Structure 1
Amino acid sequence: MEKLKMHSPNLTQDNIARIRDLFPGCVTEAKGEDGSVRLAVDFDQLRQELAESIVEGPQERYHLNWPGKREALLTANAPIAKTLRPCREESVDFDTTKNLFIEGDNLDALKLLQETYLGKIKMIYIDPPYNTGNDFIYEDDFAENSEEFLRKSNQVDEKGNRLVANKDSNGRFHSDWLSMMYPRIKLAKNLLSEDGVLFLTLDDTEVANMRRIGDEIFGESNFLANVVWQKKYAVANDDPGIGVMHDHVLVYRKSEAFVRGLLPRKAEQNARYTNPDNDPRGEWASDNYVSNKSKDERPTLWYSITHPRTGEEVWPEEHAVWRYSKEKHLEIEREGRLFWGPNQSYKKPRLKRYLKEVQQGIVPPTWWTFEECGHNDEAQKETAALLGQKVFSTPKPIRLIERMIAIAGAKDGIILDFFAGSGSTAHATLKANAQDGGVRQYIAIQLPEPLSEENNTQKSAAIFCKQIGVESNIAELTKERLRRAGKEILEKSPNENWSKDVGFRVLKVETSNMADVYYAPDALDKAKFDLFVDNIKPDRTPEDLLFQVMLDWGVDLALPITKQSIQGKDVFFVDGNVLAACFDASGSIDEAFVKELAKQQPLRVVFRDAGYKNSAVKINVEQIFKLLSPATEVKCI
């Protein structure tokens, strides 16, 4: 139901609307004095529409621009002082799993992953919020001066909420959506491996703009396809316009190194291959032996073949030739691959093509039907069957993402979804591994977007969260779906030859573990100096510090972690000797402990600055490692 305006008419906007009716290309979007985005007239373009010759104006060039693009670029490049905190109690198989579930703003998460996963992601699939005029989008506010930037980079946000609605009062502007997507796609490209690929689903509203963004970030030459997925099987009877039956799937590769995979052959394609003559080479199908080239074009392919039953000379048609040269034909004949029909009744031969020789897969098309890839209703039923009720409004079917995984063409890569939503990408990854024995890993990123029982579309989801005793937000729903999906796959998978890794390690985007004064020492009040002796926030655990060190050092966040006691002090070891970390802050780390740790010969080692017994120990640490483990890189926090 529309609301009354409760104010006098905006005559300027009414006039702009009239101009848009006459000259749609002359109306664009621009920021007003209050910073809000409004419809505005491109007067240079309007003058050209009304002129009979070229009018003077800005230099023409081909590009996509919108209010806020420069800010979006700055947002992508600006550093943040945040970290990822592990949450064991919400994880599944925390110590052994290779999968990650990151809870928080995906822009922050993408920035935090830049060093660790730079060039390591094989496939990215995202299903971002569509620009419907009331969907939630992310507000990427950033600082315009050093003081404000410092405050916001430490997530001290006066608004207290980075999630805002692209409200109807905004007029369904493209600019807000583009500013949200641009920095995320830019950061995502960095994470893709050279042979990596991005899949992105969206509707007609922004597909043209997304193509322009994709071409700008990836390059036009790396655009692979605009796939049309048939997401519905019937048109709604109450649709006032033309019934929308599809979504788009844009596909971009990182570089020419990408090699697309093939889709599985269908049973009906293989059914035409039989073995009526018990050929030891297996099933075969006959193929045409004649080419439509003329003998004038290919004179060497115009020759006679002796019929094995009649002994007569057999020639191609007058305007045709054989497909193979005389030499190749004799080879085919010796191999027994000529087929003259049952009882040699054909007038011309055909070629035996064996099933084992044909391409073991089919080339992906750009038209994906719901029979092959599923539809919205199927996706609803998949999640409802797992959770016992409908809770997700627009999940994607697993079969849709399984097709993308097949095209990505790898059984051992990392698959990233930074708009995880219902968790379909992670679910599809686990299912694909169970089917073909792959060891793919997933990274799912989801904002804990609150759910409300007052919202009709969110009511069932909010109630479900209450029933299972978790906070009412989408991230909690996603985690629960993945827990249940993992159990179901383990129970139902007939294949025993796979890793059976259905767990996930939960990491949450948080403010840095370092005290605020660590980033702004000039803000230290000397009168309170004693309060800032420790540079670590008091609520942070050694494992929190470990993950921030792993991020800073670019160490894979999914590597196994063990904890050992050396001389009464806890030491974390990441994947054996990749990283050793001791965050003891008691001031008892002495040379004897350091020598004992150095015998482990870790590649990297980190200590807490407050842990050293005295300055002499701190000075001698590097010398001890140079003597006992010269390859070790030593740092402290």
Structure 2
Amino acid sequence: MRKIELSTPDGAVENINKLGELFPQVVTEVQNVDGELERTVDFEALRNLLGDVAEGQRERYQFTWPGKREAKAEARRPICKTMIPEPGKSKDWDTTENLYIEGDNLDALKILKETYAGKVKLIYIDPPYNTGHDFVYDDDFAKTRGEYDAGSGDFDEEGGRLVANPESNGRFHSDWCSMMYPRLALARDLLTADGAIFISIDDNEVNNLLNLMNELFGQENEIATFVWEKMYTTKNDSSVVSNKHEYVCCFAKSVNTLSFNLLPRSDEMDARYTNPDNDPRGPWKAIPLYANGERKNGRYEVVSPSTGTIHLPKPNSHWRYRKEDVEKLISDNRIYFGADGLGQPNLKRFLSEVKQGINVSSLWKSNEAGTNDSAKKDIRALFDGDSPFDFPKPLMLMRRILDIASSDECTVLDFFSGSASMAQAVMEKNAEDGGNRRFVLVQIPEETTGQFSTLTEIGEERIRRAGAKIAAEIDESNKQLELGADSKPYPDLGFRVIRIDSSNFKDFYLTPGETSQESLFDFADNVKKGRSDLDLLFEVLPKLGIPYSAKIEERMLAGKKVFFVDGDKLAACFDANVGSDTIEEMAKAKPWYAVIRDSSMADDATHANYEELFRTYSPDTVPQVI
């Protein structure tokens, strides 16, 4: 009987399997410490296949730091954690497709990878800038429990901590790189083939960030390092240079499949186009027909058709086009010789024929992408003039990123979500263009002072208030509609809160080798006290590739509660003493997957008949137990 494995996948095993698909001849089997066979890579065979140009002590370019080996291992290491649903903290729990995740983003990314790998179109993050004052994540899982008990209390029970990284620390930059590496590695796995990641950063770590991204994403996939003017005016905050900018680094999953949206043209751009000769093709802009420099066959006579005036290029210049092409342009009334027909010839470039948008610039001016001050105004507008978050990012910056890199139907991830600016920007963008963008936000519940006790409380409250503001604006707009006009619909203004916690099952702190061999329900009722059936369901969802936003319905089948998820994709029952009658009804519903607790089956006969009932009534269903 198939049993669900509740730890996240081992990244090393996944990579070995990927290599095996490309080069099956380099994968072999060895005995592990328990005497069991496991797959591994024959590196000698791999070198023979690919060559050994980077072998030994030969000089080669590389980016490294103390702790890099452990950071790479951390990206691959599986965890035994789950997402706990929090309907009471959520808004529109039953209908929303947006997620707000409370917890360490490294854990979140590992769990999300099971469901969202290759499905996130856009990632934006605003990680700690490593100024010596901001908090950084220290993922030191090598610390023993004895060391934890004897320590200062900075460490949690998993060995992780959230601490300041002072400049006096000899590993100042190394700790930051070690924190970022596994998170960026996992983030890449989540992106769609045409997806992109945008990262806010300042001068302290921009060079290290680019080195990390070049290694993980490939230098060929670097799109740009945008310069964002974060202040309107110069501020004397330095003894030498007044710093008015930050950076937004952008990398594609693959530059070959990436395409950015065009930004709308401004009124100022369009105002340059006029129609002095009342051309039926509409407004146009004059472009000089000549270009600087001499060119063979580029000097010839151009004759005005209305006056017969002969024109030659200016000295040391030439006509842009061949003589026969210019004659065709004149006959099509695309060359303008002035109102009196005596002026220098100019090409008419029609507004209707230019691109209906512009490519994004590498310089993001403050009037286009907002500022630190506008970011504070954004959040104060929602919190009655208060600013419960110190360094929010402006909505205009979030909107610019959404404008160029999102699609109408896509998932947007921010795993350093802070004050939840991205969530508000996504909802506003959907309200504007009718799109169905979904956000997934992750934030560790760091303690704060003031009205809110944690950063997650600030983020969740901001999303609620922003949603209410958007709804009120839509209501007001609909009041102004003419009789018979369609009312403007509401976008998804809700969000599901889910919290990262340890597994729902007792004694599940096992090594990957142990978890691959043992059933979690070999003994009676090892579910932790206080965990609900909904909690168990959410631990199962990622194992079957079902998103946490999926619709959930509860039905009573033969007296037992059964969850039906995403229509008929999953039927799951976690009640005690489940009999064959309930299982038969589940099978008749013909779900894709069926899950039941191994220990909750009423008797041995039910256990024996479990798979047989599905073979009889729904042979395509995959029945499993936990």
Q: Which amino acid aligns with 1:478?
A: G
* Cα separation, partners in 2 of 1:147 and 1:534, compared to 1, 3 Å: farther
Q: Secondary structure at the match of 2:464?
A: helix
Q: Which amino acid aligns with 1:611?
A: S
Matches within 5 A, 1:545-564: 545-564=536-555
Matches within 5 A, 1:477-488: 477-488=458-469
Q: Secondary structure at the match of 1:581?
A: strand
**In the aligned structure 2, how far is the partner of 1:521 from the partner of 1:347?**
79
Partner of residue 492, structure 1: 473
* Cα separation, partners in 2 of 1:158 and 1:562, compared to 1, 3 Å: closer
* Cα separation, partners in 2 of 1:377 and 1:347, compared to 1, 3 Å: closer
Partner of residue 375, structure 2: 379
Give yes or no for contact 1:415–1:442 (8 Å, CA) kept in 2.
yes
* Stretch moving more, 313-322 or 400-409: 313-322
Residues 1:126 and 2:125 aligned together: yes
Task: Tell me how far 1:512 sits from its aligned partner.
Answer: 0.5
1:618 to 586, 607, 614: 607
Partner of residue 396, structure 1: 393
Q: Secondary structure at the match of 1:377?
A: helix
Give yes or no for contact 1:414–1:440 (8 Å, CA) kept in 2.
yes
Task: Tell me how far 1:337 sits from its aligned partner.
Answer: 2.9
TM-score between the two structures when normalised by the length of structure 1: 0.80
Task: Tell me how far 1:136 sits from its aligned partner.
Answer: 1.1
Which sections of structure 1, spanning at least 5 residues, go unmatched? 1-56, 150-155, 452-461, 466-471, 524-529
TM-score between the two structures when normalised by the length of structure 2: 0.81
**In the aligned structure 2, how far is the partner of 1:104 from the partner of 1:84?**
9
Partner of residue 61, structure 1: 60
Partner of residue 142, structure 1: 141
Partner of residue 589, structure 1: 579
2:336 to 336, 339, 343: 339
Partner of residue 231, structure 2: 232
Q: Secondary structure at the match of 1:588?
A: coil
Residues 1:543 and 2:538 aligned together: no
User: RMSD in angstroms over aligned alpha carbons?
Assistant: 3.0
Q: Which amino acid aligns with 2:578?
A: S
Give yes or no for contact 1:517–1:532 (8 Å, CA) kept in 2.
no
Task: Tell me how far 1:502 sits from its aligned partner.
Answer: 1.2
* Cα separation, partners in 2 of 1:73 and 1:356, compared to 1, 3 Å: same
Task: Tell me how far 1:562 sits from its aligned partner.
Answer: 1.8
Task: Tell me how far 1:263 sits from its aligned partner.
Answer: 2.1
Residues 1:80 and 2:79 aligned together: yes
Task: Tell me how far 1:506 sits from its aligned partner.
Answer: 0.4
**In the aligned structure 1, how far is the partner of 2:123 from the partner of 2:66?**
28
* Cα separation, partners in 2 of 1:104 and 1:305, compared to 1, 3 Å: same
**In the aligned structure 1, how far is the partner of 2:429 from the partner of 2:343?**
46
**In the aligned structure 2, how far is the partner of 1:202 from the partner of 1:314?**
55
**In the aligned structure 2, how far is the partner of 1:409 from the partner of 1:306?**
50
Task: Tell me how far 1:387 sits from its aligned partner.
Answer: 0.9
Matches within 5 A, 1:193-342: 193-237=192-236, 239-256=238-255, 257-292=257-292, 294-296=294-296, 299=297, 304-317=301-314, 319-325=316-322, 328-329=325-326, 331-342=328-339
Partner of residue 441, structure 1: 438
Task: Tell me how far 1:209 sits from its aligned partner.
Answer: 1.0
Q: Which amino acid aligns with 2:366?
A: F
Q: Which amino acid aligns with 1:489?
A: I
* Stretch moving more, 431-440 or 374-383: 431-440
**In the aligned structure 1, how far is the partner of 2:513 from the partner of 2:231?**
60
Write out per-residue CA displacement over residues 324-377 of structure 1, whole angstroms, 9 at most, x where no aligned residue. Answer: 4455445544544333322434242x3332222211222222221212211111
Partner of residue 38, structure 1: none
Q: Secondary structure at the match of 1:285?
A: strand
**In the aligned structure 2, how far is the partner of 1:335 from the partner of 1:594?**
77
1:565 to 553, 556, 560: 556
1:504 to 473, 495, 504: 495
**In the aligned structure 2, how far is the partner of 1:80 from the partner of 1:600?**
34
1:463 to 438, 450, 455: 450
**In the aligned structure 1, how far is the partner of 2:73 from the partner of 2:206?**
24
Q: Which amino acid aligns with 2:169?
A: N
Give the fraction of aligned pairs with identical amino acids, expressed as a percent: 45
Task: Tell me how far 1:593 sits from its aligned partner.
Answer: 2.7
**In the aligned structure 2, how far is the partner of 1:518 from the partner of 1:534?**
17
Q: Secondary structure at the match of 1:63?
A: coil
**In the aligned structure 2, how far is the partner of 1:351 from the partner of 1:338?**
5
Give yes or no for contact 1:439–1:499 (8 Å, CA) kept in 2.
no
Partner of residue 364, structure 2: 368
Residues 1:162 and 2:161 aligned together: yes
* Cα separation, partners in 2 of 1:426 and 1:626, compared to 1, 3 Å: same
Write out per-residue CA displacement over residues 62-112 of structure 1, whole angstroms, 9 at most, x where no aligned residue. Answer: 222222111111111111100001100111111111110000011100111
Give yes or no for contact 2:122–2:406 (8 Å, CA) kept in 1.
no
Q: Which amino acid aligns with 1:376?
A: N
**In the aligned structure 2, how far is the partner of 1:564 from the partner of 1:88?**
19
**In the aligned structure 1, how far is the partner of 2:497 from the partner of 2:551?**
14
Task: Tell me how far 1:520 sits from its aligned partner.
Answer: 7.9
* Stretch moving more, 500-509 or 65-74: 65-74
* Cα separation, partners in 2 of 1:579 and 1:502, compared to 1, 3 Å: same
Q: Secondary structure at the match of 2:116?
A: coil
Give yes or no for contact 2:587–2:614 (8 Å, CA) kept in 1.
yes
**In the aligned structure 1, how far is the partner of 2:161 from the partner of 2:457?**
18
* Cα separation, partners in 2 of 1:319 and 1:145, compared to 1, 3 Å: same
* Cα separation, partners in 2 of 1:247 and 1:505, compared to 1, 3 Å: same
Q: Which amino acid aligns with 1:633?
A: V
Partner of residue 457, structure 2: 476
Which sections of structure 2, spanning at least 5 residues, go unmatched? 1-55, 149-154, 479-486, 515-520
Number of residue pairs matched?
548
Partner of residue 42, structure 1: none
**In the aligned structure 1, how far is the partner of 2:234 from the partner of 2:219?**
34
Q: Secondary structure at the match of 1:342?
A: coil
Q: Which amino acid aligns with 2:267?
A: A
Residues 1:413 and 2:410 aligned together: yes
**In the aligned structure 1, how far is the partner of 2:436 from the partner of 2:620?**
31
